[in-house]
Amino acid sequence: MTKVSLELIQQLRDKTGVGMMDCKKALIEADGDMDKAIELLRKKGASVAEKRSGNATAEGLIHAYIHPGAQIGVLLEINCETDFVARTADIKQFAQDVCMHITALKPLYVSPAQVDAAYLEKERKFFREQLIEQGKPEKMVDQIVEGKIQKMYADICLLDQKFVKNDQITVNDLLKDLIAKMGESIKIIRFSRFEIGG
């Protein structure tokens, strides 16, 4: 069994915010490799998120963010399982980061499931006509259209966007990391972005 130093465990904890025992286990499993340990913790977070996704989220918070200069503001609703978690500094920091992200990247929807069906159909039709005009083979058109739709989701859906503070992860990855850390289901329900003259 690989022995890992307390210093290395602390470094991983500082980077991920995950508990000391989970950090120690991940580092042992990764033979002391920090990047591999972070990846293991991220996978664990995804599996915790999956297990807890069906749990009722009747608690939560509404976070208000006003961007410096008071020209842009965001209201964000986050739901979780317990009032205790809703009041933690981790949730508040997450809400603040997500609001700053919304300010900068202007998503239209939380997730692909919320995208308006009529809007989606119109975009599909537009992409299809465009590809046929370009002379793409008929059998490839649908596949290319789906690829374009997925790329569109990454532009307009909050959870699919690259996180503004770290473009190596999506907002959904950030959420899964938080779920793993807090050990309960957490959901971004809705947001409103306000901009003067916008």
State pLDDT tens for residues 127-139: 999 988 888 888 8
- Confidence band of 48 (pLDDT split at 50, 70, 90): low
Residue 152's pLDDT is 94
Whether 99 contacts 110, CB under 8 Å: no
Q: Is the pLDDT of residue 99 over 90?
A: yes
pTM of the predicted model as reported, rounded to 2 decimal places: 0.69
Residue 164's pLDDT is 95
- Confidence band of 180 (pLDDT split at 50, 70, 90): confident
Q: Tell me what the pLDDT averaged over the chain comes to.
A: 87
State pLDDT tens for residues 2-18: 678 888 888 877 776 66
Residues 30-44: what's their mean pLDDT? 81
Residue 20's pLDDT is 74
Q: Is the pLDDT of residue 52 over 70?
A: no
State pLDDT tens for residues 69-92: 999 999 999 999 888 989 999 999
Maximum C-alpha span of the chain: 62
Residues 149-174: what's their mean pLDDT? 95
Task: Provide, rounded to the nearest whole percent, the portion of the chain with pLDDT above 70.
Answer: 90
Residue 53's pLDDT is 54
C-alpha distances in Å from residue 115, one per residue of 24, 79, 119, 121, 123: 41, 20, 7, 10, 11
Q: Decide: helix, strand or coil at residue 88.
A: coil
Task: Provide, rounded to the nearest whole percent, the portion of the chain with pLDDT above 90.
Answer: 54
| Structure-token match 């690989």, residue found | 2
Residue-range domains of the chain with CATH: 6-52 (1.10.8.10), 59-110+157-195 (3.30.479.20), 116-155 (1.10.286)
What is the rounded distance in angstroms from the CA atom of residue 79 to the CA atom of residue 99? 15
